[in-house]
Amino acid sequence: MSKKLDPKSSWHWQLTGKVNSSFNVDIYDIDLFDTPKTRIQKLHSQGKKVICYFSAGSFEKWRDDSGKFHSSVLGKKMDGWDERWLDIRDANVKAIMRERMQLAKKKGCDGVEPDNVDGYTNDTGFALTAQDQLAYNTFLAQTAHKLGLLVGLKNDLNQIKQLVDHFDFAVNEGCHHYHECAMLKPFILQNKPVLNVEYDDLDHKNDICDESKKLGLYTLFLPKELDGSFRISCD
């Protein structure tokens, strides 16, 4: 498996637009499909780790491999997004996700950030259970590790205690806003980075950053579009 991440790693997260590679950070979290191998190589040449994002729990019709999904695995539309939930129990979905992580390996990514891995808490159109989600998320982590990739747990706060041993870092959205940061403590106790982003509450930036530093999180304030239009860091 790839070298572990420093628990105090700094990061930049950008999934749309031309990636701004000028930030003096340890980790870049960028889109798996939209990022060419040459950009990953450039970031590596600057001494940065590269985490590659993909959705592991939703169907995005614009992705290169969208034609591989069977119609039977496509569920309800996600609230607020032009995506559909996936039946994560299905072998077809797992095979595609394995291929995505193989692509990440081929492109030179150091790790992956599988998104939308908390479908069991949403109205997906499938009768997904907490156990189904644990099994799927464990599958994602084990597959990544077999390929020598680091892997991050995205949100899914209620299952952190069961999953922390399987994942190398956590990526969270809005734990300060929703008063949920304490739930990420298992990662901190294992000296694994917690990479947090807040989309709102800039008026309370100082208080949020003070709390974030006390907890041992690395918190950014970013636009919801994750387009690199601004980046405010608690460091």
Question: What pLDDT, on a 0 to 100 scale, did the predictor assign at position 235?
Answer: 85
Alpha carbon distance 177, 188 (integer Å) = 19
Annotate the chain with three-state secondary structure.
Answer: CCCCCCCCCCEEEECCCCCCCCCCCCEEEEECCCCCHHHHHHHHHCCCEEEEEEECCEECCCCCCHHHCCHHHEEEECCCCCCEEECCCCHHHHHHHHHHHHHHHHHCCCEEEEECCCHHHCCCCCCCCHHHHHHHHHHHHHHHHHCCCEEEEECCHHHHHHHHHHCCEEEEECCCCCCCHHHHHHHHHCCCCEEEEECCCHHHHHHHHHHHHHHCCEEEECCCCCCCCCCEECC
Q: How does strand 84-86 pair with strand 194-198?
A: unpaired
φ and ψ of 170, to 5 deg? -120, 145
pLDDT in tens, the chain (235 residues): 447 899 999 999 999 999 999 999 999 999 999 999 999 999 999 999 999 999 999 999 999 999 999 999 999 999 999 999 999 999 999 999 999 999 999 999 999 999 999 999 999 999 999 999 999 999 999 999 999 999 999 999 999 999 999 999 999 999 999 999 999 999 999 999 999 999 988 999 999 999 999 999 999 999 999 999 999 999 8
User: What is the pTM (predicted TM-score) of this model?
Assistant: 0.96
Instruction: Determine the Cα angle at 114 with ends 88 and 136, to 5°.
Output: 30
Question: What pLDDT, on a 0 to 100 scale, did the predictor assign at position 207?
Answer: 97
Instruction: List, in order of start, the domains of the chain with CATH numbers.
Output: 11-233 (3.20.20.70)
Alpha carbon distance 93, 69 (integer Å) = 7
